[in-house]
Amino acid sequence: MNIIFYLAAAVAIVATLLVVTRLNAVHALLYLIVSLLAVAVVFYTLGAPFVAALEVIIYAGAIMVLFVFVIMMLNLGPQATETERGWAEPELWFGPALLCGVLLGEVIYLILRMPTGTTLARVGTPEQVGVALYGPYLLGVELASLLLLAGLVGAYHLGRRAPHEEPGGGV
């Protein structure tokens, strides 16, 4: 079990280091996704599968898609095709793919040895977390919903087409 943790933690740190050092935003973003996936595996080894799943679905999934989306929008320009060609180059995807391969191997190993019992804790099942959220943390859930409302309205206002831009034009 320990080796799984160390490996996942090492992947997380290496990927994060590359987030800092890769100059191209797309490269950095790919490594950021790997870093988040590695942290999800760490959560899993710590016995928090629910949090690990949320990390993959919301963080590495939804939020990172937003980032990808915005980076794509910022890349619309004369150099877009050049960038497009760059994305097919192996040195871009090889690093993230390698690190993801390590994580995949870990997950497969974990799933295979699951029946013999991993360190699934007694507390922290989705059901219990849900009961806590709608029990003592009820106000917190309401506040989080207000926060999402603020995010939604804010992004709507900022994202709408500028008054003088003709329809269909520009970012």
Cβ atoms of 48 and 121 closer than 8 Å: yes
120 counts as binding other proteins under rule CB under 8 A: no
Helix (H) or strand (E) holding 124: none
With respect to other proteins, which residue has the nearer C-beta, 85 or 164?
164
In the bound complex, what is the minimum distance in angstroms from residue 3's beta carbon to other proteins? 10
CB atoms within 10 A of CB 1: 10
In the bound complex, what is the minimum distance in angstroms from residue 93's beta carbon to other proteins? 18
144 counts as binding other proteins under rule CB under 8 A: yes
169 counts as binding other proteins under rule CB under 8 A: no
Cβ atoms of 103 and 41 closer than 8 Å: yes
39 counts as binding other proteins under rule CB under 8 A: yes
CA distance 133 to 54: 15
Q: Using CB under 8 A, pick the residue from 78, 115, 163, 168 that binds other proteins.
A: 163
